[in-house]
């Protein structure tokens, strides 16, 4: 069986769909701290708090997973509002899963890191795999510590845990929660709803981004790669495309010519974004397991608007 912990989230939702398509619905167990908005009719679902070792133990006993995907985490912006809870969930949740994975001899574990592990003194452009890393958000600090823990469990216990430093992820199926890059998702919804978006990042804030289809395909490619090919056991740099809010607005106007973007100054997420790279060098992922992004900014924009148009027309009956 494959177990996904945190399957209600932006990435977990689509990982569940992809893994069920690949391994069969009954082979993939989804789990989260509460029921999903739309009940999971595809396959087994369990309510799990990753910080409750007892319930986690029961999950591993019941399903004896061969693979575990740990997606439960508190992201950057929310983490700055609740720093202790963010550290606790992101670090102790990981330790609980790694320890149980040893006890139950889980073959492969996936855990997401983030470009948030880089900080103000990391190179801003084409940030390399190995670099000065001085993250100044609790989220980034917890992800950097988590990477060191994953590499330790691999070297000390031979646990085959694999990880990707996700950039901002853009998708339309499930809402993102509490991130700084989420402007690049909200903007599409607002453009379709009201032809206007009040952006919480400044127009020239360049950030590395990745379309969800690419993120899922890359994650499965890493998990399928032969262990001997993997030279990185902390977490792989990965990126799709870098752009600014102003560039994204221009791209949207190619489809919605009346679209207007305005900028809210002084949002706390600006300082978080300013501490992160503008672009990422993912040479190691390309070399070790054939990473190659497929969606550029224009294709992301077209796919998002096409799919969300359907979603909005369906929900509100309003014509876009
Ligand atoms: C966030 N979407 O904004 C996440 C991600 C690199 C950004 O880690 O916190």
pLDDT of res. 40: 86
Residue with CA closest to ligand 1 atom 8: 114
Q: Which of 63, 69, 139, 166 is catalytic?
A: 139
Which positions ≥6 away from 302 have C-beta within 8 Å? 255
Per DSSP bridges, beta strands 28-32 and 2-5 are parallel
> Each residue of 128-180: pLDDT tens digit?
999 999 999 999 999 999 999 999 999 999 999 999 999 999 999 998 889 99
With residues binned 3-state (H G I as helix, E B as strand, rest as coil), the percentages for the chain, rounded to 5, are: 45, 15, 35
152 is catalytic: no
The CA-atom distances, in angstroms, between 174 and each of 2, 10, 13, 169, 252 are 21, 5, 7, 11, 20
Calculate how far, in angstroms, residue 185's C-alpha sits from the geometric centre of ligand 1.
Answer: 12
The atom number, within ligand 1, closest to the CA of 79 reads 9
Name the DSSP letter for residue 284. H
User: 217: part of which helix (H) or strand (E)?
Assistant: helix 212-224
pLDDT of res. 315: 56
Calculate how far, in angstroms, residue 144's C-alpha sits from the geometric centre of ligand 1.
Answer: 13
Average pLDDT for the chain: 96
pLDDT lower than 50: segments of the chain: 317-320
How many angstroms separate the CA atoms of 127 and 144, rounded? 15
Calculate how far, in angstroms, residue 75's C-alpha sits from the geometric centre of ligand 1.
Answer: 6
Select from 79, 68, 114 the least CA-distant residue to 223: 68
Buried b (16+ CB within 10 A) or exposed e, 194-207: eeebebbbbeebbb
pLDDT of res. 320: 43
Residue with CA closest to ligand 1 atom 5: 168
Calculate how far, in angstroms, residue 283's C-alpha sits from the geometric centre of ligand 1.
Answer: 21
pLDDT of res. 285: 98
How many angstroms separate the CA atoms of 31 and 50, rounded? 10
* Ligand 1 pocket by Cβ (under 6 Å): 75-76, 114-116, 139, 167-168, 179-181
């Amino acid at each position: 069986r494959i177990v996904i912990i945190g399957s209600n989230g932006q990435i977990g939702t689509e990982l569940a769909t992809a893994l069920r398509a690949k391994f069969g619905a009954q082979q993939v167990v989804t789990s989260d701290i509460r029921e999903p908005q739309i009940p999971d009719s595809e396959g087994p679902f369990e309510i799990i708090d990753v910080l409750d070792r007892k319930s986690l133990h029961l999950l591993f006993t019941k399903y004896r997973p061969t693979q575990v995907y740990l997606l439960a985490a508190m992201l950057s912006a929310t983490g700055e509002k609740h720093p202790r809870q963010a550290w606790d969930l992101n670090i102790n949740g990981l330790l609980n899963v790694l320890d149980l994975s040893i006890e139950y001899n889980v073959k492969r574990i996936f855990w997401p890191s983030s470009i948030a592990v880089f900080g103000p003194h990391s190179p801003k452009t084409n940030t390399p795999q190995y670099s000065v890393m001085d993250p100044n958000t609790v989220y980034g600090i917890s992800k950097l510590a988590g990477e060191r823990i994953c590499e330790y469990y691999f070297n000390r216990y031979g646990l085959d845990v694999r990880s990707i430093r996700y950039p901002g992820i853009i998708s339309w199926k499930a809402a993102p929660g509490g991130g700084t890059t989420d402007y690049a998702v909200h903007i599409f919804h607002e453009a379709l709803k009201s032809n206007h978006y009040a952006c919480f990042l400044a127009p020239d804030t360049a950030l590395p981004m990745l379309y969800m289809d690419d993120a899922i395909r890359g994650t499965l490619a890493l998990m399928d790669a032969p262990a001997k090919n993997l030279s990185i056991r902390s977490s792989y740099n990965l990126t799709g495309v870098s752009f600014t809010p102003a560039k994204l607005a221009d791209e949207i106007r190619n489809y919605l010519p009346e679209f207007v973007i305005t900028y809210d100054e002084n949002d706390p997420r600006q300082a978080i974004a300013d501490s992160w790279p503008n672009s990422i060098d993912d040479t190691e992922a390309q070399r070790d397991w054939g990473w190659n992004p497929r969606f550029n900014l224009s294709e992301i924009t077209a796919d998002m608007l096409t799919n969300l148009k359907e979603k909005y027309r369906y929900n509100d009956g309003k014509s876009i």
